Structure 1
Amino acid sequence: MASSSGKSFLGRFGVHIAVFVFVAIWTIPTLGILVSSLRDKDQLIVSGWWTALSTSSQTEAGRLPGASAQIEKDGKFVIEGNIFGDGPARNISAFGIKAQQPTQYEAGTVADLGEGVSLQLNADGSFVMQSPKAFEGDRGQRVYYASSAPPRFTTDNYQTVLFSEGIGRSFINSLTVTIPATIIPILIAAYAAYALAWMRFPGRALLIAVIIGLLVVPLQMSLIPLLKLYNGVGLFFGVPAKTYLGIWLAHTGFGLPFAIYLLRSYIAGLPREIMESARIDGASDFEIFVKIVLPLSFPVLASFAIFQFLWVWNDLLVAMVFLGSGSDQLVLTGKLNALLGSRGGDWEILTTSAFVTIIVPLIVFFSLQRYFVRGLLAGSVKGG
């Protein structure tokens, strides 16, 4: 049954379900990265992030102290202490001395190791090993045990990543690249879009066709010619090849066709009466653009800003070509790629680095998201 707005209940319900599914698909992995980045290293290795609030269980191996730690007590030689040492306490449920039977004995029971040697490993990790003869050798007895620990969270992962792994410097590099590479195309495209929408001059239709054609040009095909052109101009004017200016211009060039197309579609759909009234009142094109078009075009400007920011922030190829791969030039995506090769088993480092990489785009998106859909839909359906 249709409602007064012309939409059936089933249709509205389906839209809500679809939105919920897409939000869940996007949000759940992000939440998983955040939780994993705050978990203790040992717990992160053995269990998924969805178990972060529950007690984690794992089977571990340890080695007791060697003969140098023994003392003689009541005619027997004794080695005692705590298997966790100075590490965090855990609860031991069972232990064993063979890898094939790591939980052969319950915690607190006395295990017979043969030749009169006994071992007692308690639930709190304390142990007592006794022998009628003196222990020999520096390598102590190998012990396997099943332990459980309460949830542990830490910010040490972020301290390691930001101050020890070089992520902090790469974070600044990415901001230095992304902010100007987002603002410059918007400034240029806004002027161009207004001119193509409301100003009449020879070759206007041809320029619009060229811009539409540039939308389908692959980045990889134009990257090398653009680099050669930039190096040639830089050599002529004595400008170094690997500079921030180069990557700003590159991202501006790659982003302008889409920016001009999106903004022109929106600006061309603005009410003609407003423009004509302003011209009758004596306003110039520049005054119309600044005082009327820009305020009305803020939604579509915000939409493109999100697109461009996300594209530049997540870019690796253009950054490697125009900025370089040195420690002082490497952006976040490049640094994270390097960590994947050198720290592939350190999940706490990788998840923390990944969340540091996505936190800024998340802030930008949620700050501008109320304008995103409005500006994008308006730019897609209006034309002139």
Structure 2
Amino acid sequence: MTALASLRRIGLPRLVVHLSVLLICLLWLVPTFGILVTSFREPQQIASSGWWTALTGSSQTMAVRLADGVAARQDGTNYVISGSVFEAGQGGKVQAFGTKVTAPSDYKASEPADLGEGETLTINEDGSYTYTKNAPFEAGRGKRVYLTVGTPPAFTTQNYETVLTSQGIGQAFVNSLTVAIPSTIIPILIAAFAAYALSWMEFPGRALILAMVVGLMVVPLQMSLIPLLKMYNEVGALFGVPSRSYAGVWLAHSAFGMPLAIYLLRNYIAGLPKEIIESARVDGASDFEIFLKIVLPLSFPALASFSIFQFLWTWNDLLVAMVFLGTGKDQLVLTGALNALLGSQGGKWEILTASAFITILVPIAVFFALQRYLVRGLLTGSVKGG
């Protein structure tokens, strides 16, 4: 009855919403967790089993040949060949074996298997075997057998060491930070000043400017990228600025992020209590002092909200970085370096997953550091916009 009463108190619609949100979160978290687990696994285990078996071990089928008949020794009336199915340095636990590729688990490990014609084969879990026959073995290639081998869970950091040292991801990581941090700070600083002016300063054309800002939000990046690059090259030629530089990436990201930043911050700043602004003006504070000492601290949730969006966009960007920064090995950002790995290391999933997880580490850290301000910053502006 208690559970039923709690369900009635929560309400069916609200429960459906909660379960839907939980399901969406799981759909996002499961692939991420899979990438993390795979990035620490060894290549052989990745090829033989899924990441969900990483904690319980995995099994794979392999074919081996026993020793040649020349190596046989006589034991009474029988002839015996013994040895190990594993090569030096190879490990694992034999779970079952068979003599046909279609039935690699016909016989259990450590139990004698009657192969017919006076032949008996026993393969132990550690890989040692005894092959017995009541007649001499023929010289030639050894008998082929198929094994079902289980391997214990094994994890390694070698994948990350390889990526950070020999795959160029380390330099690309630095390049991405160099691009993303200024590209997030610059539009926030400019947009905050503009948002305050559009909210609390009276001047002609304010409504028209705000309408233009809203209109610029719908301009596709792909349509304006080439004109922007041409303009940047022409202006850069006048001042001797290289056509491929970080300045171009910063300006491009700032230009594309500015309309949304001004719109979000303006809605939030316009919703601040009017009495605080008027009291500061009565006390003789200038607009710059009001902005710096009152508006900016109170607008931190909105600033943090836009910072999350802008940082994620610039961190995950590939197109703008390739156009304005270049595609050289020392110029690639993380997304570009990961794209290059897809071509050169397409079959090495341990390298790709380690690279991918390195790529998402920083955005995850930024999001969890600022996520408590995200909803407050977005909803407050939408409700109190003036």
Which TM bucket (shorter chain)?
0.7 to 0.9
Aligned length: 372
C-alpha distance in 2, partners of 1:319/1:191? 27
| 1:356 match | 358
SS in 2 for 1:22: helix
Contact between 1:196 and 1:208, CA under 8 Å: does it hold in 2? Answer: yes
Sort the Cα spacing of 1:66 and 1:223 in 2 relative to 1 into closer, same or farther, 3 A: farther
Q: Residues 122-141 of structure 1, C-alpha deviation per residue, up to 9 Å, x if partnerless?
A: 3212245689468557xx66
> After alignment, is 27-36 or 319-328 more displaced?
27-36
> For 2:229, which of 219, 227, 240 is the aligned residue?
227
SS in 1 for 2:202: coil
> For 2:88, which of 73, 85, 88 is the aligned residue?
85
C-alpha distance in 2, partners of 1:30/1:363? 14
> After alignment, is 122-131 or 206-215 more displaced?
122-131
Contact between 2:160 and 2:354, CA under 8 Å: does it hold in 1? Answer: yes
SS in 2 for 1:205: helix
C-alpha distance in 2, partners of 1:62/1:286? 79
C-alpha distance in 2, partners of 1:162/1:105? 45
| 2:165 match | 163
Sort the Cα spacing of 1:107 and 1:379 in 2 relative to 1 into closer, same or farther, 3 A: same
SS in 1 for 2:204: coil
C-alpha distance in 2, partners of 1:253/1:21? 36
> For 2:271, which of 265, 269, 272 is the aligned residue?
269
Pairwise mapping of residues 105-184 of structure 1 onto structure 2 (< 5 A)? Answer: 105-108=107-110, 109=112, 120-127=122-129, 132=136, 135=139, 142-184=144-186
| 1:9 match | 10
**C-alpha displacement of 1:323:** 1.1
Contact between 1:77 and 1:134, CA under 8 Å: does it hold in 2? Answer: no
Q: Residues 236-294 of structure 1, C-alpha deviation per residue, up to 9 Å, x if partnerless?
A: 22211111111111100110000001000100111111111101111001000000000
Contact between 1:80 and 1:127, CA under 8 Å: does it hold in 2? Answer: yes
| 2:37 match | 35
Contact between 1:113 and 1:119, CA under 8 Å: does it hold in 2? Answer: no
Q: Residues 207-252 of structure 1, C-alpha deviation per residue, up to 9 Å, x if partnerless?
A: 1111100000000000110111111111222211111111111100
C-alpha distance in 2, partners of 1:211/1:8? 45
C-alpha distance in 1, partners of 2:146/2:129? 13
C-alpha distance in 1, partners of 2:330/2:143? 48
How much identity, in percent, do the aligned residues show?
A: 61
| 1:311 match | 313
| 1:188 match | 190
**C-alpha displacement of 1:346:** 2.0
Contact between 2:191 and 2:265, CA under 8 Å: does it hold in 1? Answer: yes
C-alpha distance in 2, partners of 1:303/1:38? 33
C-alpha distance in 2, partners of 1:313/1:325? 16
Q: Residues 335-369 of structure 1, C-alpha deviation per residue, up to 9 Å, x if partnerless?
A: 11222222222222222221111111110000001
Specify the code of the residue in structure 2 equivalent to 1:319: A
C-alpha distance in 1, partners of 2:342/2:108? 40
SS in 2 for 1:242: coil
TM-score normalized with structure 2 length: 0.87
C-alpha distance in 1, partners of 2:238/2:120? 82
Contact between 1:173 and 1:332, CA under 8 Å: does it hold in 2? Answer: yes
Contact between 1:43 and 1:56, CA under 8 Å: does it hold in 2? Answer: yes
Specify the code of the residue in structure 2 equivalent to 1:85: A
SS in 2 for 1:86: coil
| 2:281 match | 279
SS in 1 for 2:26: helix
C-alpha distance in 2, partners of 1:143/1:157? 33
In angstroms, what is the RMSD of aligned CA positions? 2.7
C-alpha distance in 1, partners of 2:68/2:320? 57
Is 1:201 the counterpart of 2:188? The answer is no
Sort the Cα spacing of 1:306 and 1:250 in 2 relative to 1 into closer, same or farther, 3 A: same
Specify the code of the residue in structure 2 equivalent to 1:202: P
SS in 2 for 1:307: helix
**C-alpha displacement of 1:105:** 4.2
SS in 2 for 1:99: coil
**C-alpha displacement of 1:78:** 5.3
**C-alpha displacement of 1:103:** 3.2
C-alpha distance in 1, partners of 2:40/2:217? 41
Contact between 2:81 and 2:131, CA under 8 Å: does it hold in 1? Answer: yes
Sort the Cα spacing of 1:154 and 1:14 in 2 relative to 1 into closer, same or farther, 3 A: same
| Structure 1 unmatched runs, 5+ | 1-6
Contact between 1:343 and 1:350, CA under 8 Å: does it hold in 2? Answer: yes
Contact between 1:36 and 1:351, CA under 8 Å: does it hold in 2? Answer: yes
Sort the Cα spacing of 1:245 and 1:100 in 2 relative to 1 into closer, same or farther, 3 A: same
Specify the code of the residue in structure 2 equivalent to 1:363: A
**C-alpha displacement of 1:63:** 5.1
Pairwise mapping of residues 92-103 of structure 1 onto structure 2 (< 5 A)? Answer: 92-103=94-105
Contact between 1:173 and 1:331, CA under 8 Å: does it hold in 2? Answer: yes
**C-alpha displacement of 1:9:** 2.8
Sort the Cα spacing of 1:62 and 1:251 in 2 relative to 1 into closer, same or farther, 3 A: farther
Specify the code of the residue in structure 2 equivalent to 1:275: I
C-alpha distance in 2, partners of 1:118/1:325? 63
Specify the code of the residue in structure 1 equivalent to 2:153: P
Sort the Cα spacing of 1:113 and 1:38 in 2 relative to 1 into closer, same or farther, 3 A: farther
